[in-house]
Amino acid sequence: MIHAVIMAGGSGTRFWPASRSKTPKQLLRLAGDTVMLQATVDRLGDLVTNEQVFVLTNQRLVPAIRELLPDLPDANIVGEPYKRDTAPCIGLAASLVYASDPNAVMAVMPSDHVITPEATFQKALQTAASLVNDDPRRIITFGIPPTYPAESFGYIQRSDSIETNDGISNAYRVEQFKEKPSADIAQQYLDAGAFYWNSGIFVWKASTILEALRQFQPEMMMHIDNIAATIGDPSFESVLATEFEQINGTSIDYAVMEHYEHVVVLEATFHWDDVGSWQSLSRTNEQDDSGNTVLGKHLSIESAGNIISAEGDHLIATIGVNDKIIVHTNNATLVADKSEEERVREIVKQLEELEWDEYL
């Protein structure tokens, strides 16, 4: 049976000032009327039961997420006591899934993507599960056909297609993973036609990823296995805190994907967007006649191409303003040129240095 693991521990600093430590990106409504984490759970539909959905987040968000997702068992919403990247997160999640079902197939996904249509996504997960069940050694990752030479995504280079018993034609062996490229290299990848954007969505047997992590990250897994030994025990939280602190964090790509022999990339048939920055809202929301993307109330006079976000009933009025990001919250306002949006992180860093915690 498929179990879903949703990684919801990110801080979303590129969405400051809307994204804060207590309400990060995954708890915001950035694409439609639904909180992004809720939308991630909803798109699973009837593919999994509530008991088969696990959310891994940071400790301070656990109460808010339990309130947002009251139908999930409390034990399925786990707070990491320290930020240690995706490999320890996945190792812990796989241990939880394995404890509930040693034969489980896991689908792992971030909490802050926009994916449509839901039925196509569910079918893709079932296809991936079928590939895993045919060969339990397989680790499946979803590749997104690139539509432009993106510099902000990692890439996957595909190799030969794999033969399957049920006629799946969009599955390939992975040649190699590529880091975020320069503009010129990204264009080469696009022109080559054998590269995908790395979606960060995976399907595998819980037992398979645990063994792979033990093979390539034995020191990390020593701590994870110590935690796993206390699942269901009153000592779980204290052991989690002690052992997780000692882990040297790394991403699942570095930890396993770049070394493992049986990685398969499944070409995604669904529409995907990682909603990584303010400008991505223009891809996931409608624009007015002047090309402004507006979340909230906006009065525009000869203003075009802006990203506008305002909380509550606050009105943002612009005159002759073009290609800007304007975000108003109850105690902070951001005004930036769209070309400078990556520097939003610099604001967060300076706020941390100044210890202006009320803005974080």
Residue 214's closest CA among 101, 339, 340, 87?
87
- Phi-psi label, residue 288: left if phi above 0, alpha if psi -120 to 50, beta otherwise: beta
Domain residue spans of the chain: 2-276, 279-359
Amino acid residing at 265 = V
Whether 135 and 63 have beta carbons less than 8 Å apart is answered as no
pLDDT at residue 282 tops 90: yes
Q: In what order do the strands lie in the sheet with 324-328?
A: 293-295, 307-310, 324-328, 333-337
Give per-residue pLDDT as tens, 90-134: 999 999 999 999 999 999 999 999 999 999 999 999 999 999 999
What pLDDT is stored for residue 157 in this prediction?
A: 97
Annotate 324-335 with b (16+ C-beta within 10 A) or e (fewer).
bbbbbbeebebe
CATH of domain 2-276: 3.90.550.10
What DSSP string runs through 141-193?
EEEEPPSS--SSS-EEEEEEEPP-TT---SEEEEEEEEPPPPHHHHHHHHHHS
Give per-residue pLDDT as tens, 228-252: 999 999 999 999 999 999 999 999 9
CA distance 350 to 356: 9
What pLDDT is stored for residue 152 in this prediction?
A: 87
Amino acid residing at 213 = L
Q: What is the pTM of this model?
A: 0.94
Residue 293's closest CA among 250, 270, 326, 254?
326
Give per-residue pLDDT as tens, 320-333: 999 999 999 999 99
What pLDDT is stored for residue 124 in this prediction?
A: 96
What DSSP string runs through 53-92?
EEEEEEGGGHHHHHHH-TTS-GGGEEEESS---HHHHHHH
